[in-house]
Homo-oligomer: A and B are copies of this chain.
Amino acid sequence: MMKAHVYVTLKASVLDPQGQTIHNALRKIGFADVTAVRQGKYFALALADGLSAGAAGAEVERIAREVLTNPVIEEYTYRIEE
């Protein structure tokens, strides 16, 4: 089964209060080596058998760009696993 992994993160210029809160919590409980935390979203998509790698890439690219990401504040990366 072909799988796609899509990672959606806030753009670097966008504040991430959720990540900041996690960072503060980590510091308080003693994880001093973490210097920043950013939180994002992860999507695992199972793809139909028999899809070519090219078609899979094109479809996942469109899904990531048009459905899973808010282009005003977010950006995405993805990885296809055959």
A residues whose Cβ falls under 8 Å from a Cβ of B: 1, 7-9, 19, 22, 25-26, 29, 31-48, 51, 55-56, 59, 62-63, 67-68
Contacts and interface: CB of A to CB of B under 8 A. Distances in A.
Contact of A48 (B1, B33, B67): B33
User: What is the copy number of this chain in the assembly?
Assistant: 2
Nearest to A10: B44
Contacts of A59: 31, 33-34
A34 to B, nearest CB: 5
Contacts of A40: 41-44
Contacts of A32: 48
Given A26-B63, A67-B26, A37 B31 contact: no
